[in-house]
Amino acid sequence: MKVRFTVGVFLAGIGLLVAVAAQGQGSFGSQNTLYTMPEAGQGGGAGDPTAEQFAASPEAQAIVANAKRMAGTEYAAEFARFCTWNATAVVAPTTPGETVQVFDNWYYATNGMVGAIIIKTSAGIILWDTLNSEAEAKTIIEAGMRKFGLDPVQIKYVVIGHHHRDHTGGLEYIQRTYNPTVLMGKLDWDVLMAAGGGLKRGVDILDGQKLTLGDTTLTLFLLPGHTPSSISGIVPATYRGRTFNILNLTASRFSTYASMAPFQRIFDEAKRAKVEAVIQAHPEINMLKTATVEALRKYPVPGPHPLLVSPEKAARYMDLELECGRARIAANKTALDKARTPEYYRTPDGGSK
């Protein structure tokens, strides 16, 4: 069995700051911790402008107009969603749960609002996220694996996008039952372990880390912003004799300088990898739609795969999302700049004695 970690730490300047002193009340970032990620919130929405600010900002609206031209008719729906004050998305209501085959080596287990990716390799299974609860891990993930002839005992690795419960709710059960190696960003491990609950701490993901199991290698990147050490990854998929790359995000919302920079970087990585789809655990927000899941109930699908686009179209999709993020930043520039005065970067007088 081929199992390997390769670590490549890229100096990307994406916003993990070291702060010896705790930040004061009203400041951005975590409190009373050695590591802080500015503007990292429980939902990644810190720093959003108001709807009124967004509509009233000439600079923001000029960017929006350019984004609309970029979108054309093909990405008109994405433009309408991304280019708003809070990057809204309509997420489907919870369903009883199902698992569908997405590619020859991928399966998607979902409750309708969030999902987990099951990646089949020649040496076992990599599971990305674990849904909301032990019950969902049993009735959706495990049941879905068995539906497709996969044995949950073969879960060798679990990758967690970030610490929120809709991604980690089933983790304690999976860990206790199958004892896989679990990977997550360090700061998200810190949050999860402080909450208790019986989990055993696993591996801290480093930026650019390679995770290889058998014939499959994932490339994992830090994507801070939604949480302090959220991650994303470029994952190979196979379909009808062809292998290509997919970008799996942990979130798709950025409204600040610190949260924008990681997305610029990960989209650059994805373009170099020539990804042919941009997805995340939640349906509707990126290219993985509820309608896509419905179409994949019959696999392989007749005609073109409903998730795949060309690398050129995927690049345009990512550029559109970035442009809309720039508009939100422009609309709230006064407040963002106020939080980044020179004093932010200095030790306060009397701070070290």
Q: Would residue 104 count as lying in a domain?
A: yes
Residue 11 covered by a domain: no
Cα-only R_g, the chain: 20
Q: For 313-333, how does the pLDDT look when each residue is reduced to its tens digit (9 = 90+)?
A: 999 999 999 999 999 999 999
Q: What is the pLDDT of residue 37?
A: 53
pLDDT at 122: 98
For the chain, the domain total comes to 1
Confidence (pLDDT) at 176: 97
Length of the chain, in residues: 353
Give me the pLDDT at residue 164, please: 93
Q: How far apart are CA 324 and CA 334, in angstroms?
A: 18
The whole-angstrom separation of Cα 27 and Cα 350 is: 19
The CATH number that applies at residue 135 is 3.60.15.10
pLDDT in tens, 3-54: 455 443 332 333 332 222 223 333 333 343 445 555 555 455 667 899 999 9
CB count in 10 Å sphere of residue 316: 18
- Classify residue 50: in a domain, yes or no: no
Query: Is there a domain that residue 343 lies in?
Result: no
The residues near 305 (Cβ < 8 Å, ≥ 6 apart) are 239
- Please give the Cα distance from 54 to 74 (Å, whole number): 24
The answer to whether residue 19 sits within a structural domain is no
Q: Which domain holds residue 131?
A: 65-333
Say if 189 falls within a structural domain: yes
In terms of DSSP bridges, do strands 242-249 and 278-280 run parallel, antiparallel, or are they unpaired? parallel
Is residue 55 included in any domain, yes or no? no
3-state SS, residue 322? helix
For the four alpha carbons of 17, 20, 22 and 24, in that order, the dihedral sign comes to: negative
Q: Kindly give the interhelix angle for 257-272 and 311-331, rounded to the nearest 10 degrees.
A: 170
Q: How far is CA 198 from the centre of its chain?
A: 25
- Whether residue 292 is contained in a domain is answered as yes
Residues 304-315, buried b or exposed e (16+ Cβ, 10 A)? ebbbbbeeeebb
pLDDT value, residue 16: 33
| Integer Cα distance of 203 and 189 in angstroms | 9
Number of other residues whose CB lies within 10 A of the CB of residue 98 = 18
Q: List per-block mean pLDDT (blocks of 10 residues) for the chain, which spans 353 residues.
A: 45 30 32 48 67 97 98 96 87 82 98 96 98 97 98 98 96 98 96 91 97 98 90 97 95 86 96 98 92 94 94 98 96 90 81 54
Q: Give the ranges where 223-289 is alpha helix by DSSP (H).
A: 257-272
For 122-274, where are the E strands, in sequence order? 124-128, 155-159, 181-185, 203-205, 209-213, 216-222, 231-239, 242-249
